Structure 1
Amino acid sequence: MVESTATNPTLLADQVASLLVQPLEAASVVLSSGPRVFDTAGELRIPKLVSGSTPGFVAEGAEIPDSHDVTFDEIKLMPTERKSIKSILKYTNELVRQSVIGIDAVLKARLVKDVSDVLDQALLTGAGTTNSIKGITKQTGVTTGEIDVTDADSLLDAIAALNALEVTPNRWFISGADFAALRKLKESSTSARYLLEPDPTKQSGTTIFGIPATITNKLPAGTAILADMSTVAIARDTSPSVTVLNERYAEFDQVGLRVTTRYDLGLLHPKAVSVLSAPTP
């Protein structure tokens, strides 16, 4: 029997990948910023080294000390009770081009945008309550600092704080309002030259003091993130689903797409992530 949406309304894995997973990786400001993504079918336990031994200088023929212990911890992601992101997108049959699977590009973009908006909000600022994602800004043990949009030195201080921990940050996340305020800073009250004026000879893209910056209004003004994104772990359910609802809206000559996907987030090295807040007035 030939596979069709009538006999098999749940799209196949490769169809879901091309419709949702791959476009979502590009559309999400967090997923596209270089975190470590782990595909998992169940609960994920990632070990991390808390402390290790301290090597020393030992003379020739002398006994090498073996009294040092290595301490491990772990982060647990994607517990069974973790909630899913779910949505139903309805569209009329007039918008169908060749088949239900051949969805119009506009609908595909809308589907990805709806999911990425919710996902990014959770990955950045999710409270972690009632089995939902705990976002980066709500994680414990992170480095903290200030962002003062009237003083660019506050950004250099944030970089220096991570450098002091031997961390090389590779991504800013900052709100549009804060970035606009920073871009307006000038060298002095008598100068028209901007401090963060882009260099046209450099590779395209937004950077702040040489570090790539993602401008997102999923962060509120007065909150920013500076991080080594290789230490941000994201668990992604290996079984996202997109189901075509052929009959539910038949009286309206409409078809529905039901989307279900699950993600989780944890930090492999919390101190490698700095959450910056505006100074208290």
Structure 2
Amino acid sequence: MTETAAANPELLADQVASLLVQPLEAASVVLASGPQIFDTAGVMRVPKLVSGSTPTFVGEGGLIPDTADVDFDELTLMPTERKSIKTILKYTNELVRQSVIGIDAVMKARLVKDVSDALDTALLTGDGADDSITGIINQDDVQTDIWDPTDPDTLMDAIGLAVAAEVMPNRWFINGADFVKLRKVKETTGSKKYVLESDLTKDATYRLLGIPVTVTNKLEEGTAILADVSQVAIARDIAPSVKVLTERYAEYDQIGLRVVTRYDLGLLHPEGVIVLGLEQGS
């Protein structure tokens, strides 16, 4: 039996995964950077260890101190009021019939780009207003410092802040214009070696002081992030939906694709994220 849009207005879970979820993970610069992603249908609480015990040296037969107190906190993600990213993509039946290439592939690419653009903007710079996502640069208790893409010392200072917080940063997020400025910086005066090096073994991957660089214009020029992305926790609703709307636009001979997907972000160890800006300081 041939499956039709009219008979299956709600795409199946595996169809949604191949159409939206999996491509989105690859297209989103934040999701692709290696954060911890938790699938959840509702409010999720992630425990965080705030403080632990201090082991001491004890001689043979000596009394082992039992005064240690472990203190836990928790990170709350995906509160019930967290809003979803939603969009409707319309196309005509003529386009379907006259397209010389697979319209499904084109629509899939358009759909993924639109959603990933909105999602990355929220995950990186969202202000949390109106029950939306609070992005990385606006999370509480992150470290901040001065950012000058032409001065390697400011880059080392950012790494120093991470080291002082006993975290190992593994990702730079840098604006495109700042990236170009960085490309021109040499290690020393008269040197022909650039500070920003390409990794020939990993396609067009760039490394800055040994740390991979992700270029994104979702960050404004003059703003950058240095992070241990394993400390970034992202909650993803386990039930994203893609619905084919066959009747709503019937009088225009159009079909719609309605997409609903829901994410949230928090930091397990905020000191593991350093937000750099032209006028910021720690």
CA distance in 2, matches of 1:210, 1:245: 49
Counterpart of 1:198 in structure 2 is: 197
Confirm or deny: 8 A CA contact 2:36 2:230 kept in the other structure.
Answer: yes
CA distance in 1, matches of 2:122, 2:199: 35
Residue 213 of structure 1 aligns to which amino acid in structure 2? V
Unaligned runs of 5+ in 2: none
Computed over aligned residues only, the root mean square deviation of the Cα atoms, in angstroms, reads 1.8
CA distance in 1, matches of 2:32, 2:57: 44
Counterpart of 1:150 in structure 2 is: 150
CA distance in 1, matches of 2:173, 2:58: 46
CA distance in 2, matches of 1:166, 1:197: 24
Confirm or deny: 8 A CA contact 2:40 2:236 kept in the other structure.
Answer: yes
User: How much does 1:165 deviate?
Assistant: 2.1
CA distance in 2, matches of 1:258, 1:275: 35
Counterpart of 1:126 in structure 2 is: 126
Confirm or deny: 8 A CA contact 2:223 2:278 kept in the other structure.
Answer: yes
Cα distance change of structure 1 residues 187 and 71 upon mapping to structure 2, 3 Å threshold: closer
Confirm or deny: 8 A CA contact 1:36 1:234 kept in the other structure.
Answer: yes
Moved more, 227-236 or 150-159: 150-159
CA distance in 1, matches of 2:209, 2:51: 32
1:138 to 2:167 alignment: no
Moved more, 199-208 or 179-188: 199-208
Residue 42 of structure 2 aligns to which amino acid in structure 1? G
Confirm or deny: 8 A CA contact 1:95 1:104 kept in the other structure.
Answer: no
Cα distance change of structure 1 residues 201 and 113 upon mapping to structure 2, 3 Å threshold: closer
Moved more, 14-23 or 271-280: 271-280
Cα distance change of structure 1 residues 241 and 165 upon mapping to structure 2, 3 Å threshold: same
Confirm or deny: 8 A CA contact 1:148 1:279 kept in the other structure.
Answer: no
User: How much does 1:195 deviate?
Assistant: 2.7
CA distance in 2, matches of 1:200, 1:139: 31
Counterpart of 1:29 in structure 2 is: 29
Counterpart of 2:75 in structure 1 is: 75
Cα distance change of structure 1 residues 67 and 154 upon mapping to structure 2, 3 Å threshold: same
Counterpart of 2:224 in structure 1 is: 224
User: How much does 1:193 deviate?
Assistant: 2.1
Counterpart of 1:13 in structure 2 is: 13
CA distance in 2, matches of 1:252, 1:119: 30
Counterpart of 1:267 in structure 2 is: 267
CA distance in 1, matches of 2:198, 2:260: 43
- Secondary structure at 2:248 match in 1: coil
User: How much does 1:94 deviate?
Assistant: 3.2
Counterpart of 2:65 in structure 1 is: 65
Counterpart of 1:241 in structure 2 is: 241
User: How much does 1:122 deviate?
Assistant: 0.3
Structure 1 vs Structure 2: percent identity of aligned residues? 67
CA distance in 2, matches of 1:202, 1:241: 37
Counterpart of 2:88 in structure 1 is: 88
Cα distance change of structure 1 residues 187 and 54 upon mapping to structure 2, 3 Å threshold: closer
Confirm or deny: 8 A CA contact 1:184 1:194 kept in the other structure.
Answer: no
Confirm or deny: 8 A CA contact 2:144 2:275 kept in the other structure.
Answer: yes
- Secondary structure at 2:194 match in 1: coil
Confirm or deny: 8 A CA contact 2:126 2:134 kept in the other structure.
Answer: yes
Confirm or deny: 8 A CA contact 1:127 1:138 kept in the other structure.
Answer: yes
CA distance in 2, matches of 1:14, 1:268: 31
| Residues 159-170 of structure 1 aligned to structure 2 (within 5 Å) | 159-170=159-170
- Secondary structure at 1:11 match in 2: coil
- Secondary structure at 1:198 match in 2: strand
User: How much does 1:7 deviate?
Assistant: 2.7
TM-score calculated relative to the size of structure 1: 0.92
- Secondary structure at 1:104 match in 2: helix
Moved more, 246-255 or 3-12: 3-12
User: How much does 1:2 deviate?
Assistant: 7.0
User: How much does 1:5 deviate?
Assistant: 2.4
CA distance in 2, matches of 1:113, 1:88: 13
